[in-house]
């Protein structure tokens, strides 16, 4: 079996290996707890290996890889697109890299963090199921398959949010999450049904080729964006997010951050690949100005994004619970991504529109890493002191040296300070939104400064100050947790020091996949696209 064979089969293996591992975990757990932990880390490690192999191939060659389950061609003889298909282009590979980094950090972190809990067989099974669901959502090229993996992700993450059932509020947060995500999933299912009834196909490339942009299609687009925005936590639908992020175990929160980003990927894929060729068609002519779909959608998204940023940052200012504070900051960070997508939509086709897409996509990976690192630090502090309230903490930098350094890295990155990765992507977003409207860029910069203020306050109240007597015996966290935080911190510093390299090699292929959907369609359909 040579390398080419492995790369050919890796789209299927990336989903299949965690799925097989998930069901083997309870059996391995019967033998030994340590063996089970090693087994889970090996499973996720193998998946990460496949992801990087596949991503390396996609980014270096620029090809799009398809994988048809059960063999055969994607389109059968009569022109029916009935086979289940995985299609991997630059955007898919980019998202898969994010998911794999987060998954690997999560399982390494869990070794020490979850050691004192019972029911860990089920915990690891659900983690692997959630990872498999996330990869499925990322890699699939089939609408209904997307829905199925979305449901797998939301059901397993609901149970994981409520994992600490002895803390009653966790169950409450889990219930809130399942209600919101079930509603969102129903929206998406309805949209898929609308598309299927018109075009008799579920294949994304086939649909994108034959879409007519009827009235029903517009309804489907709105439903898809609304459903996925619920899962992503954009402001009117954000109330589940602080509860879920705040109450779940920190290792779970890390993967939840990934699941949120994957929902944003869904928005990008649905809007730009499915409706890509029809977005610039004028809707209505009023006097000299014609209203186009991309302008309307873009302005709506920009408005939502600005509210999201403001609400997220202002709510973060007044929180005293550490994890809840980071959760509101995460809401604000998602706002920046949506802002970039909206700005790119309004200015579609121009050079700064493309720059906005690049900034937005780059910010997806930066947000996942920065917020993820902060959540891991919050988990580490909880592990060491059993405190979540900022009012009870103080002077922790004297006992927890490494954790303090990691928090400082996360703080600078999330606030967009120059040596870290957050700066590179936020600069791209500011530059491009300034061209759309200077006020947007000003609000974005102001909120970023406020975010810095929030985290400086946290840094002061938790880490600085005199040594508190009650934390006299506190030690730094075990090695596995430090290793997990270290992996993410390394990526943050690397992306911050070489943004040019990352933008050219990782972000640009992904942004090109958004801007132009022709390759995505021709790979499956073959021949000319009308």
Is 80 one of the binding residues for another protein (CB under 8 A)? no
Give least dist CB 152 to another protein, A. 13
Give least dist CB 26 to another protein, A. 5
Is 2 one of the binding residues for another protein (CB under 8 A)? no
Give least dist CB 128 to another protein, A. 12
User: What residues are paired with 88 via a beta bridge?
Assistant: 65
Give least dist CB 398 to another protein, A. 46
Residues 6+ apart with CB under 8 A from 371: 257, 326, 329, 330, 333, 414
Strands 282-286 and 85-88, bridge-based pairing: unpaired
- Shorter beta-carbon distance to another protein: residue 67 or 265: 67
- Shorter beta-carbon distance to another protein: residue 119 or 282: 119
Considering Cα of 514, then 515, then 519, then 520, what sign does the dihedral take? positive
- Shorter beta-carbon distance to another protein: residue 22 or 377: 22
- Shorter beta-carbon distance to another protein: residue 10 or 250: 10
- What is the distance between the alpha carbons of residues 314 and 329, in angstroms, rounded to a whole number? 9
Residue with tokens 């350094």: 405
Considering Cα of 523, then 524, then 526, then 530, what sign does the dihedral take? negative
- The footprint of another protein on residues 310-349 (CB under 8 A) is none
Give least dist CB 146 to another protein, A. 18
Burial track 236-269 (b if 16+ CB lie within 10 A, e otherwise): ebbebbbbbbbbbbbbbbbbbbbbbbbbbbbbbb
The runs of H, that is alpha helices, within 233-350 are 240-247, 250-268, 293-317, 322-346
Find the part of the chain contacting another protein (CB under 8 A) among 20-28, 135-143, 193-201, 362-370. Answer: 20-28
CA angle at residue 238 from 232 to 243, to 5 degrees?
105
Q: What string marks each residue from 31 to 70 as x (binds another protein by CB under 8 A) or -? A: ------------------------------------xxxx
- What is the distance between the alpha carbons of residues 184 and 90, in angstroms, rounded to a whole number? 27
Is 30 one of the binding residues for another protein (CB under 8 A)? yes
Exactly one of 6, 16, 405, 468 binds another protein (CB under 8 A); that residue is: 16
Give least dist CB 125 to another protein, A. 9
Exactly one of 24, 216, 317, 408 binds another protein (CB under 8 A); that residue is: 24
Is 158 one of the binding residues for another protein (CB under 8 A)? no
- What is the distance between the alpha carbons of residues 450 and 493, in angstroms, rounded to a whole number? 23
Q: Is 85 helix (H, G, I), strand (E, B) or coil?
A: strand
- Shorter beta-carbon distance to another protein: residue 121 or 172: 121
- Shorter beta-carbon distance to another protein: residue 68 or 405: 68
Find the part of the chain contacting another protein (CB under 8 A) among 19-27, 176-184, 321-329, 482-490. Answer: 19-27
- Shorter beta-carbon distance to another protein: residue 149 or 322: 149
- What is the distance between the alpha carbons of residues 37 and 115, in angstroms, rounded to a whole number? 10
Exactly one of 2, 3, 34, 71 binds another protein (CB under 8 A); that residue is: 71
Give least dist CB 70 to another protein, A. 5
Is 9 one of the binding residues for another protein (CB under 8 A)? yes
- Shorter beta-carbon distance to another protein: residue 6 or 317: 6
- Shorter beta-carbon distance to another protein: residue 56 or 73: 73
Give least dist CB 209 to another protein, A. 24
Q: Is 320 helix (H, G, I), strand (E, B) or coil?
A: coil
Give least dist CB 208 to another protein, A. 24
- Shorter beta-carbon distance to another protein: residue 28 or 102: 28
- Shorter beta-carbon distance to another protein: residue 24 or 445: 24
- What is the distance between the alpha carbons of residues 310 and 315, in angstroms, rounded to a whole number? 8
Q: Quick one: which H or E segment has residue 282?
A: strand 282-286
Give least dist CB 20 to another protein, A. 5
Is 12 one of the binding residues for another protein (CB under 8 A)? yes
- Shorter beta-carbon distance to another protein: residue 73 or 214: 73
Give least dist CB 380 to another protein, A. 32
CA-CA-CA-CA torsion for 313, 317, 322, 324, nearest 10 degrees? -50
478 with 112: CB under 8 angstroms?
yes
Residues 6+ apart with CB under 8 A from 124: 22, 25, 29, 36, 37, 40, 107, 110
Exactly one of 26, 168, 236, 418 binds another protein (CB under 8 A); that residue is: 26
User: What residues are paired with 208 via a beta bridge?
Assistant: none
- Shorter beta-carbon distance to another protein: residue 69 or 494: 69
User: What residues are paired with 86 via a beta bridge?
Assistant: 67, 140
- What is the distance between the alpha carbons of residues 391 and 241, in angstroms, rounded to a whole number? 23
- What is the distance between the alpha carbons of residues 192 and 394, in angstroms, rounded to a whole number? 52
Is 13 one of the binding residues for another protein (CB under 8 A)? yes
The runs of H, that is alpha helices, within 140-273 are 143-161, 169-199, 204-210, 215-232, 240-247, 250-268
Number of residues that bind another protein (CB under 8 A): 17
Find the part of the chain contacting another protein (CB under 8 A) among 10-18, 308-316, 351-359, 398-406. Answer: 10-18
Residues found near another protein in the complex (CB under 8 A): 9, 12-13, 16, 19-20, 22-24, 26-27, 30, 67-71
């Amino acid at each position: 079996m040579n390398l080419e064979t492995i790369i050919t089969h890796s789209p299927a293996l990336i989903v299949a290996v965690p799925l097989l591992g998930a069901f083997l975990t309870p059996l391995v757990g019967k033998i030994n707890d340590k063996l089970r932990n090693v087994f889970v880390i090996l499973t996720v490690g193998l998946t990460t290996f496949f992801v990087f192999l596949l991503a390396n191939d996609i980014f270096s060659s620029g090809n799009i890889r398809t994988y048809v389950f059960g063999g055969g061609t994607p389109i059968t003889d009569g022109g029916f697109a009935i086979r289940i298909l995985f299609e991997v282009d630059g955007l898919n590979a980019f998202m898969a890299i994010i998911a794999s980094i987060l998954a690997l950090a999560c399982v390494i972190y869990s070794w020490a963090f979850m050691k004192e809990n019972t029911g860990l067989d089920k915990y690891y099974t659900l983690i692997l199921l959630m990872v498999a669901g996330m990869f499925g959502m990322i890699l699939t090229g089939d609408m209904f398959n997307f829905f199925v993996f979305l449901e797998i992700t939301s059901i397993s993450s609901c149970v994981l949010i409520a994992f600490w059932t002895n803390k009653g509020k966790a169950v409450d947060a889990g219930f809130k999450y399942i209600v919101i995500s079930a509603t969102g999933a129903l929206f998406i299912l309805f949209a898929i049904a609308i598309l299927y009834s018109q075009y008799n196909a579920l294949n994304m490339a086939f649909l994108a080729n034959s879409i007519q942009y009827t009235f029903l299609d517009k309804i489907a687009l709105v439903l898809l964006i609304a459903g996925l925005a619920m899962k992503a936590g954009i402001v009117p639908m954000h109330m589940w997010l602080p509860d879920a992020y705040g109450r779940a175990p920190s290792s779970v929160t890390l993967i939840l951050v990934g699941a949120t980003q994957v929902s944003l990927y869904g928005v990008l894929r649905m809007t730009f690949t499915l409706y890509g060729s029809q977005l610039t068609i004028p809707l209505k002519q009023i006097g000299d100005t014609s209203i186009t779909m991309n302008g309307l959608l873009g302005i709506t998204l920009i408005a939502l994004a600005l509210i999201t940023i403001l609400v997220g940052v202002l709510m973060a200012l007044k929180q005293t619970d550490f994890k809840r504070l980071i959760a509101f900051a995460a809401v604000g960070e998602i706002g920046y991504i949506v802002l970039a997508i909206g700005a790119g939509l309004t200015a579609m086709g121009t050079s700064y529109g493309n720059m906005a897409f690049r900034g937005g996509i780059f910010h997806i990976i930066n947000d996942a890493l920065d917020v993820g690192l902060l959540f891991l630090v919050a988990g580490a502090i909880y592990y060491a002191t059993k405190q979540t309230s900022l009012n009870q903490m103080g002077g922790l930098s004297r006992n927890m040296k490494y954790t303090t350094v990691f928090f400082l890295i996360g703080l600078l990155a999330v606030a967009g300070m120059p040596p870290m990765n957050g700066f590179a992507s936020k600069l791209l977003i500011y530059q491009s939104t300034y061209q759309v409207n200077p006020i947007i860029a000003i609000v974005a910069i102001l909120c970023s400064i406020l975010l810095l203020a929030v985290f400086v306050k946290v840094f002061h109240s938790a880490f600085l100050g005199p040594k508190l007597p009650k934390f006299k015996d506190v030690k730094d966290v075990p090695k596995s947790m430090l290793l997990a935080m270290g992996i993410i911190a390394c990526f943050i510093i690397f992306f911050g020091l070489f943004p040019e390299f990352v933008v050219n090699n990782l972000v640009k292929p992904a942004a090109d996949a958004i801007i132009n959907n022709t390759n995505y369609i021709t790979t499956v359909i073959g021949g000319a696209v009308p």
